[in-house]
């Protein structure tokens, strides 16, 4: 599974581009930058969904929530933006894989 996220991350649009557009929007308030960022974000989400088709919805929801927790821990809750979650999905997946081998795994964030 980690290979899937690595593969998706190498394709356009990248999370770095989305963050850059968001940063530029914050400075200039240019609505065209926000629209570009949203379009790239939707493309990134579509790429991930296409690659994770067999993954059950409950697992995807859990992974998304865990990625949100990781992003919060890395960026702080007050300064976190939605695209930070995209950048944290790989780390969330790595946490799941690491704990999957433990029969009595319990994840608490």
Q: Which residues contact 99 (CB under 8 A, 6 or more apart)?
A: 105, 107
pLDDT at 108 over 60: no
State the Cα–Cα distance between residues 51 and 56, nearest whole angstrom.
12
Q: What is the pLDDT of residues 41-77, one digit of tens each?
A: 777 777 777 766 665 677 778 888 989 999 998 888 8
pTM given for the model: 0.44
Q: Which residues contact 22 (CB under 8 A, 6 or more apart)?
A: 34, 37, 81, 83
Residues 100, 32: Cα–Cα separation, whole Å: 43
Q: How many residues does the chain have?
A: 109
**Between 8 and 95, where is the model more confident?**
95
Question: What is the torsion angle, in degrees rounded to the nearest 10, for the CA atoms of residue 94, residue 12, residue 35 and residue 66?
Answer: -10
């Amino acid at each position: 599974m980690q290979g899937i996220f690595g593969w998706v991350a190498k394709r356009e649009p990248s999370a770095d581009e989305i963050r850059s557009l968001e940063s530029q929007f914050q400075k200039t308030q240019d609505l065209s930058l926000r629209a570009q960022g949203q379009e790239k974000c939707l493309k990134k989400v579509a790429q991930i969904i296409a690659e994770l088709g067999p993954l059950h919805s409950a697992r995807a929801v859990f992974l998304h929530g865990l990625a949100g927790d990781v992003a919060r821990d890395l960026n702080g809750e007050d300064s976190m933006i939605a695209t930070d979650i995209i950048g944290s999905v790989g780390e969330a997946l790595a946490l799941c894989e690491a704990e999957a081998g433990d029969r009595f795994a319990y994840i608490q964030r």
